């Protein structure tokens, strides 16, 4: 019996680029949840453009609105910076964690003067993937008032799904800000979400404030659950045909994904010198996804 070939059940694998600390693939032999279309987006790194797809890490969200963020690109510098490899840890059972870090480089300091240390931890489990962003204020100031680090953070999840059939729950009765009307901070009006299941059949760019923190993204035959810690808001985005104006989106690419992005993006988190904030999400596959009508 001992010469029987070892049967190894390979479940999920993930690919993470040091560039942007972007998860560019999370898949199993039967499920593709966060796989980019086509070859790895290496040209992004050459052009210092963020990766379009996977799970980009957003540190400082949207068009810059904070005085300290005035020179930053949309969605900040983390997703278009080269992160450093820290370590890999095989945890109990079949979990494995990879840690990447980012500290101020000359190109970052040229546009952002604050002192910080970012740690991004990706943990791969049998049926789930977790991402944690640790934001440390490394200011040595002992002045009063404290030299707070003010920031926003978000995981920009591109979930592979048929955009015309996907639904996001539970968002009913929440207030959201509709950025399809105005992207200027504070200019879009708050609307009450009336739908039991939010669809993205048309151009959608909604910022839900003080959301429940746990979501289901479902479509006929599939789905993922997203459970978060310390991420009070969630964004639902799909460009629909406006995606045809995006140079790095393939024709019709908008039909193949929905972005469900947990974060802290309404207002700013504040961390005092020496302290660290952490935001986390755990994404798991829903095998027999029930449909919310």
Binding residues: 52, 74, 79
Nearer Cβ to ligand TA6 (74/164)? 74
User: Residue 57: CA atoms inside 13 Å, Cβ hemisphere, count?
Assistant: 33
Look at residue 192 and give its three-state secondary structure. Answer: strand
CB of 115 to ligand TA6, least distance (A): 25
Helix, strand, coil shares, percent, the chain, to 5: 10, 40, 50
Tell me the residue number closest to ligand TA6, measured at CB.
Answer: 237
CB of 44 to ligand TA6, least distance (A): 11
Task: From the candidates 75, 261, 264, 269, give the one annotated as an active-site residue.
Answer: 261
Look at residue 150 and give its three-state secondary structure. Answer: strand
Catalytic residue flag (residue 66): no
Nearer Cβ to ligand TA6 (74/87)? 74
CB of 19 to ligand TA6, least distance (A): 14
Q: Are strands 214-219 and 222-229 parallel, antiparallel or unpaired?
A: antiparallel
The owner of tokens 């802290």 is 264
| 16 vs 85: CA distance, rounded Å | 11
CB of 236 to ligand TA6, least distance (A): 8
Look at residue 233 and give its three-state secondary structure. Answer: strand
- Binding residues for ligand TA6, rule: CB under 6 A, are 50, 62, 74-75, 156, 179, 205, 235, 237, 259, 261
CA torsion angle 269 124 26 101 (round to 10): 50
DSSP bridge pairs for 59: 153
In Å, how far are 81, 114, 264 from 58, measured between CA atoms? 11, 16, 10
Structure tokens at 278: 């952490």
Residue 92 CB burial class (10 angstroms; 0-12, 13-18, ≥19): exposed
| 157 vs 131: CA distance, rounded Å | 11
| 175 vs 209: CA distance, rounded Å | 6
Catalytic residue flag (residue 156): yes
Nearer Cβ to ligand TA6 (45/285)? 45
CB of 75 to ligand TA6, least distance (A): 5
Catalytic sites, residue numbers:
156, 261
């Amino acid at each position: 019996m001992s010469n029987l070939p070892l049967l190894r059940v390979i479940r999920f694998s993930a690919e993470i680029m040091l560039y942007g600390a972007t998860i560019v693939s999370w898949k199993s032999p039967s499920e593709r949840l966060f796989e980019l279309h086509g070859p790895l987006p290496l040209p992004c790194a050459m052009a210092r453009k963020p990766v379009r797809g996977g799970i980009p890490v957003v540190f400082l969200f949207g068009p810059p609105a904070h005085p300290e963020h005035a020179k930053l690109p949309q969605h900040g510098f983390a997703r278009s910076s080269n992160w450093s490899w820290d370590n890999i840890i095989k945890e109990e059972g079949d979990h494995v964690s990879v840690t990447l870090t980012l500290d101020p480089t000359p190109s970052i300091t040229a546009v952002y003067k604050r002192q910080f240390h970012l740690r991004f931890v990706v943990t791969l489990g049998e049926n789930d993937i977790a991402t944690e962003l640790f934001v440390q204020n490394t200011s040595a100031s002992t002045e009063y008032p404290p030299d707070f680090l003010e920031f926003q953070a978000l995981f920009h999840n591109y979930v592979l799904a048929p955009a015309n059939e996907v639904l996001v729950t539970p968002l009913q009765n929440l207030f959201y800000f509709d950025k399809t009307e105005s992207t200027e901070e504070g200019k879009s009006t708050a609307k009450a979400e009336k739908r039991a299941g939010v669809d993205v059949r048309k151009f959608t760019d909604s910022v839900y404030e003080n959301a429940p923190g746990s979501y289901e993204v479902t479509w006929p035959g599939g789905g993922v659950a997203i459970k978060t810690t310390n991420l009070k808001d969630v964004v639902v985005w799909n460009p629909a045909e406006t995606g045809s104006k995006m140079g790095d989106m393939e024709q019709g690419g908008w039909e193949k994904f929905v972005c469900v992005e947990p974060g802290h993006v309404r207002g700013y988190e504040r961390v005092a010198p020496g302290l660290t904030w952490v935001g986390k999400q755990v994404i798991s596959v829903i095998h027999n996804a029930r449909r919310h009508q």
